[in-house]
Amino acid sequence: MNPCVNKKEALFVRNTIKITAAVAAASAVALGASACSAPSDTTASSDKGDKNAPLVVAASPAPHAAILDFVKNKLADKEGLKLVVKPFNDYKIPNKVTDDGQVDANFFQHKPFLDTFNKENGTHIVPVQNVLIEPLGVYSKKIDKLSELKAGSTVSVPNDPSNEGRALKLLADNGVITLKPGVGSDAKLTDVKDDKGVKITELEAAQTAPRIDDVDAAIVNGNFAIGAHLKPSKDALALEKSKDNPYANFLAVKKGNENDPRIKKLAKLLNSPEVKKFIEDKYKDGSVIPAFGPAKS
């Protein structure tokens, strides 16, 4: 008898007719097994010693998860790689679940963001392979050019330190605000020398596109622009330059897992000619640009 079955229930079962007893006994065993056993973990991270286990990767839905899905469906089998893609519409959770082992890797961020995240959260995530750049853009539903921004106008920017700095530099490069001398992509709101009366509002990066109607203009990360059906080459009032851009998005893992054979296979595939063509064909509007090569730690 299953140890989780109550004795009174067992006595009741013995005193019922055979058919009822059989059904009750089967139910009791099923319930007992469910109550007494921990649910099985079928994710790759459940068996760190199995290098043939599925590789579970957290990613932003677009373009990162879309690229991973292409690799999964078109390329992974040839390399003997089992790939599981877990989309997250968030910039904090992917690093946390990578650090605590719920997933094996992530693909969504650039180096300045990762450096800040590791420092503030005590995580130990490291970059492995660069894949792409998503130029930051200024978008609006209320104005047609940035020169229409004036005193009293509102502009939203991502509130995480690295992307906020990029956003402020983009505004400064286009004459909307003036930054203090010597300040670049690491700018903070306190580094704004002259806002020219423009009110800058900080929002979670994922909220700048959905809340674009609440402001006169919004600075939106490339992946969130794609998710909001914004076309950078057509819709952006200003677009971050891709040349010499230090914000390449990369495949990342918890420190110590860089040499996992499955990670090496995925890194190779993400820098393959097939992925380059996929990115260039799918994102012809310039919202995503290949940026292959080893990522700097």
User: What CATH number did the domain enclosing 221 receive?
Assistant: 3.40.190.10
Report if residue 126 sits inside a domain. yes
Q: Are 43 and 54 in contact (CB under 8 A)?
A: yes
Report if residue 38 sits inside a domain. no
Shared-domain flag, residues 97 and 165: no
Report if residue 39 sits inside a domain. no
pTM (two decimals)? 0.71
Per-residue pLDDT of the chain (297 residues; tens, 9 = 90+): 443 434 434 443 344 334 333 333 333 333 333 232 222 333 545 455 577 899 999 999 989 999 999 999 999 999 999 999 999 998 899 999 999 999 999 999 999 999 999 999 999 999 999 999 988 999 999 999 999 999 999 999 999 988 999 999 999 999 999 999 999 888 999 999 999 999 999 999 999 999 999 999 999 998 899 889 999 989 999 998 877 778 899 999 999 999 999 999 999 999 999 999 999 999 988 889 999 999 988
Report if residue 2 sits inside a domain. no
Shared-domain flag, residues 12 and 49: no
Shared-domain flag, residues 109 and 77: yes
Shared-domain flag, residues 61 and 109: yes
Burial degree of 9 (CB within 10 A; 0-12, 13-18, 19+): middle
Report if residue 37 sits inside a domain. no
Q: Are 164 and 118 in contact (CB under 8 A)?
A: no
* Domain span including residue 200: 137-239
Q: Are 269 and 70 in contact (CB under 8 A)?
A: no
Shared-domain flag, residues 107 and 254: yes
Shared-domain flag, residues 128 and 253: yes
Q: How many domains does the chain have?
A: 3
Residues paired with 253 in a beta bridge = 126
Shared-domain flag, residues 52 and 97: yes
Shared-domain flag, residues 227 and 277: no
Shared-domain flag, residues 159 and 252: no
Report if residue 276 sits inside a domain. yes
Cα distances from 218 to residues 48, 67, 95, 178, 285, in angstroms, run 43, 26, 26, 18, 19
Q: What is the DSSP letter of 296?
A: P
Residue 43 has φ and ψ, to the nearest 5°, of -75, 160
